[in-house]
Each structure stands twice: as C-alpha cells, then as structure tokens.
C-alpha cells in the first residue's frame, strides 16, 4: 500500500492560527499588520467565521461585557448599544474579517486533531480532519497560535440527575438550541443561575406560558443600560477615531476599579449590589434567598443584565425564581428536596460549559505528549517547555478581547524579535523555585470541574496571571521580549540563550 500523499508533503505556513472566532480574527489582523512578510492561514473546524457567536443561537444571546472593550481596538464598536445581541456581534466580527481581508485566510471545516513539535526541524506538524467525511490533511508551521477558546463546542455540561430519563417533556441545552423550537405558550423551566440563564429567561418570558429559573444557589446580578449615555454624548461631540478609544479606556478603568473595590471591600460591594436589587424588586421580594450568594463578589463572575430586563420580567409575573435543589426528575418535571414539584413542558439545562483547552488538540514535543494541566502559564499566553506556541485566553473579570489583543501584539513582537536575531524558536522555562497556584481565581463550577485541565500559574512574574489589563499591557506591549524565563534557540543548537 502506498503512503498517502498528505503524509509526504505537508503544506507549510510561517504561522497557523487555530480558530476563526473573535480572537482568531484579531490574531490575523495583527499578524498581517505587524509581520507582513509572514505567511499564515486560519484553520476553522466549523463552516463559518464567528466562533462562540456563530455557535450560540439561543433566545436573547448577547454580550456579557460592554462592546467598547469586547470590540477590537483596531476597529472600534460603532453602534450605540453597549450591550449587544449575538447576531450584531457576529455581524461585527464578519465585517471586520472582510474589511481587512482576513476572511480570505480562513480554511473552513478543518479540525486540528494533533500538533507535534520537532526541535531538530523547528517545526510544528498538524494533523487535520477535513469536512464531514473527515479526510486527513497535514500542515506544518514555524509558530502555532491557538485561538479556539476554552470550552467544548460539541456539548455543554449537564449534571447526572436522578431519573433524568423519565421526564416526558422536551429537554434542551442552550449550546444545542434547535433552530425551529417553538416555546410560545409553554411552561418553561430553566435550570441554572449563571449568565445564560439570566439571558434566556426574560427573552423566553415574552411569549412562553410562564418561565421559572431553578437555581441551586444565587448569583450576583447587576443591571446596566444597554445604551451607554456617556458614550452617546461623547460620540455626538467627538469624531469616531477619538470617541472609540476614549470609551474603551473609560470602561477599562471602570472595570478595573470596580473589581479592585470588590476584592478589597467585598462586604461593601455586596451590600450595594443587593441594595440595587431590592430597589428593582421591592421590599416584599425575598432577595436574601434568591439574589444573595454565599460567596463574595468576583469569587465567581457577576451576571450583567441590560436595562433591568430580568427584574422587569419578575415584576410582571411572567418570570419566577426558585432556589432549591433537585431530588429527582419526574415524568412531568422535577421534584425538589423541599418536596415541591415543578412541572414544565420544556426544560432548559443552562448548567454550564465543558472546558476543553486548545480545542482538544493533542500536543507533543519531540515525541513526548504534553499535558497542559501540568504546565505553567507564561504571561497568561504560553506554556512552560512548549516551544513556539501561543494561546489566546481572555480575562475572567473583564472583556475577553482585551487580553487577546495584547496576546496578539506580543506574539508578533516575539516573532519579529526572533527573526531579527536569527532564532528558530523560543521556549518558556520555569525556574526550580517557582511555586504553583491555580490559574483562575474563581470558584465557579466549570472552573472547579476543569482544574486538572488548566495550566497552573506561578508565584511571581512572568508566570503570574494578573487578570489586570494595565499590568498585562506593561508586560506584553511594553515589556522586554528577552528575559531570563524565555529561552531562545537557533536551528542546529541546543538551549542556546535565555536572553539576548
């Protein structure tokens, strides 16, 4: 049997980007702007640009960050809506890709299954499944840039509830929302308390025959105007080239200030959030049970709702919240530990995501498999002992895009630095005295379930993950590329230099 042609001649690029979502398009823009001589392609496993914003189709899907920071710095968000819906965000990403010609670099239906690094050749070799028939293709690249997000696109997380299979109604997970699902006039039970639940509930309550959110424990919920009044005023008085960056910085600094305040004075911030909830729902509503978490603000992510839509639906009577635990499913709904039974025609399991780093790519370095969960995160974007690989991973306490754009800028600086000095590859190397800590300082369920999958962070920089845009800007945009923890190697040499 002859060897397949794909195994003999992998198609080569200087850089391969995996994923054509929000961060992948950003990576493409910065590469062609800052490294114009580099050839690159974007490998996208699905058939469309947009990533998360193309995948999620559930009612009311929208941003949970303001669009002045979730949008790109190189193409500011131009709509007056600061909290935008999913279709508007998807259109913005695709328009950006088209405007800068990045869409011509995307290869659709190409799912990367493995990536193998060879130090002798200073190359990554990627094996790829192409199309629904999953035919095999191979690519090689000098630098691999992962922009595939951090969760499993194939399926979301659903707990193993007792008697789940006996329920006779319809069950839907938001990540696999049926295109033609009609819930008008139906009794809907949404299980969950996070961003997806509080997004879905008020939208479905408009036409459903009653919506109930069943939560095991409450989440902090904060309302914010969908249209930023300050931004509207500024845009009326200043040209777009000034108003866009100005509003971006206004929101960056406000977010940092609020997060620091919440971590330093949690009791005060908690009291203020609950005060606003009481003002929305009135003195007779049981805020203590349904909106008062047992943890401090930002131990888990806060839920943002635009224009108080969640609270308005509760006030109207079309939406109710039950705080209890599921004992078991019944043919008509669920029985709670309190003994109460909730009946529903449709159950939505808004119970979270399954984390899946690097899109499930199996990594190996010189024939040795890489367990990302045992690596240390370098500047929140690379992995210890893994050469020439960057990964876009956004903030948990601010906009995803802010960190991803800094990562793209730094990656380009790194590539240009190596080119100017004749280095073939770079490898983050941890010192023996670096301590380990969890990479994400959150107690959310999806983070706890994935602790073994996530890289650790170190006890000091450059291994520390700060979740702070200003500190990351100092390190990634203005900091030195050559520093003791980064080893640079020329082809044909071994562990050549840790700083040049």
Q: What is the pLDDT of residues 343-357, one digit of tens each?
A: 999 999 999 888 888
pLDDT at 318: 97
pLDDT, one tens digit per residue, over 178-223 is 988 999 999 999 999 889 999 999 999 999 999 999 999 999 999 9
Residue at a domain's end among 329, 349, 369: 349
Same domain, 83 and 192: no
The answer to whether position 223 is within a domain reads yes
| 422, 475: one domain | yes
Asked if residue 245 lies in contact with residue 188, where contact means CB atoms within 8 angstroms, the answer is no
Asked whether residue 275 falls in the same domain as residue 414, the answer is no
Please check whether residues 342 and 452 belong to one and the same domain: no
The predicted pLDDT at position 5 comes to 46
Which residues face 188 on adjacent strands?
211, 346
424-473 residue pLDDT tens: 999 999 988 888 887 776 656 666 666 777 889 898 889 998 889 999 99
368 domain-assigned: yes
Last residue of a domain, one of 349, 364, 389: 349
3-state SS of the chain: helix, strand, coil percent to 5? 35, 25, 45
Q: Residue 263: inside a domain, yes or no?
A: no
Residue 61 covered by a domain: yes
Number of domains in the chain: 2
85: nearest Cα among 110, 106, 56, 42: 56
Last residue of some domain: 323, 349, 375?
349
Q: In terms of domains, do 340 and 358 share one?
A: no
| Residue 324 resides in a domain | yes
The helix (run of H) or strand (run of E) holding residue 11 is strand 11-18
Both 292 and 371 in one domain: the answer is no
pLDDT confidence tier of residue 93, bands split at 50, 70 and 90: very high
Q: Does a structural domain hold residue 495?
A: no
148 and 183, same structural domain?
no
Q: Do residues 362 and 403 both lie within one domain?
A: yes
Does any domain span residue 21? yes
Q: Same domain, yes or no, for 190 and 337?
A: yes
With respect to residue 233, please indicate whether it lies within any of the assigned structural domains.
Answer: no
Q: Is the pLDDT confidence value at 254 over 70?
A: yes
If one counts every other C-beta atom within 10 angstroms of the C-beta of residue 371, the result is 11
Query: Which residues span the domain enclosing 175?
Result: 164-227+270-349
Q: What is the CATH number of the domain that holds 138?
A: 3.50.50.60
- Calculate the dihedral angle through the C-alpha atoms of 72, 91, 51, 472, rounding to the nearest 10 degrees: 10
- Residues 19 and 94 grouped into a single domain: yes
The secondary structure of 161-190 as a DSSP string is: -TTGGG--SEEE-GGG--TT---TT--EEE
**Within this chain, do residues 220 and 135 fall inside the same structural domain, yes or no?**
no
| Confidence class for position 9, pLDDT limits 50, 70, 90 | confident
Q: Does 72 share its domain with 98?
A: yes
């Amino acid at each position: 049997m002859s060897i397949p042609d794909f195994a003999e001649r992998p198609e080569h690029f200087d850089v391969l980007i995996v994923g054509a979502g929000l961060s992948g398009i950003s990576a493409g823009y910065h590469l062609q702007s800052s490294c114009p001589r580099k050839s690159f392609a974007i490998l996208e496993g699905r058939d469309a640009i947009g990533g998360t914003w193309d995948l999620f189709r559930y009612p009311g899907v929208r941003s949970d960050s303001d669009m002045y920071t979730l949008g790109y710095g190189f193409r500011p968000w131009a709509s007056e809506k600061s909290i935008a819906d999913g279709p508007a965000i998807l259109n913005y990403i695709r328009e950006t890709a088209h405007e800068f010609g990045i869409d011509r670099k995307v290869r659709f239906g190409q799912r990367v299954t493995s990536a193998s690094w060879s130090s002798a050749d200073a190359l990554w070799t990627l094996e790829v499944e192409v199309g629904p028939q999953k035919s095999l293709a191979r690519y090689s690249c000098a630098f691999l840039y992962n922009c595939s997000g951090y969760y499993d696109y194939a399926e979301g997380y659903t707990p193993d509830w007792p008697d789940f299979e006996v329920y006779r109604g319809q069950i839907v997970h938001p990540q696999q929302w049926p295109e033609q699902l009609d819930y008008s006039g139906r009794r809907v039970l949404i299980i969950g308390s996070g961003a997806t639940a509080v997004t879905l509930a008020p939208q479905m309550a408009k036409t459903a025959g009653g919506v109930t959110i069943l939560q095991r424990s409450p989440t902090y919920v904060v309302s914010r105007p969908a249209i930023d009044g300050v931004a509207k005023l500024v845009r009326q008085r200043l040209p777009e080239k000034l108003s866009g960056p100005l509003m971006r910085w206004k929101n960056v600094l406000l977010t940092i200030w609020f997060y620091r305040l919440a971590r330093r004075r949690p009791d005060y911030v908690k009291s203020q959030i609950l005060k606003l909830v009481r003002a929305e729902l009135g003195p007779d509503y049981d805020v203590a049970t349904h909106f008062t978490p047992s943890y401090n603000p930002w131990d888990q992510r806060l839920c943002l709702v635009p224009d108080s839509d969640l609270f308005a639906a509760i006030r109207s009577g079309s939406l109710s919240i039950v705080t209890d635990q599921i004992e078991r499913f019944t043919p008509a709904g669920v029985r709670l530990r309190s003994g109460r039974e909730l009946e529903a025609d449709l159950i939505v399991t808004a119970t979270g995501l399954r984390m899946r780093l690097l899109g499930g790519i199996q990594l190996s370095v010189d024939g040795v498999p890489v367990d990302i969960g045992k690596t240390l995160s370098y500047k929140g974007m690379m992995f210890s002992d893994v050469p020439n690989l960057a990964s876009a991973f956004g903030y948990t306490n601010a906009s995803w895009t802010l960190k991803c754009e800094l990562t793209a800028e730094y990656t380009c600086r790194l590539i240009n630095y190596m080119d100017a000095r004749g280095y073939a590859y770079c490898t983050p190397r941890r010192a023996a005295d670096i301590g380990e800590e969890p990479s994400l300082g959150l107690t959310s369920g999806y983070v706890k379930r994935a602790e073994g999958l996530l890289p650790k962070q170190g006890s000091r920089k450059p291994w520390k993950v700060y979740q702070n845009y200003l500190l990351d800007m100092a390190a990634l945009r203005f900091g030195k590329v050559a520093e003791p923890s980064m080893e640079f190697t020329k082809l044909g040499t071994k562990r050549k230099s840790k700083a040049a």
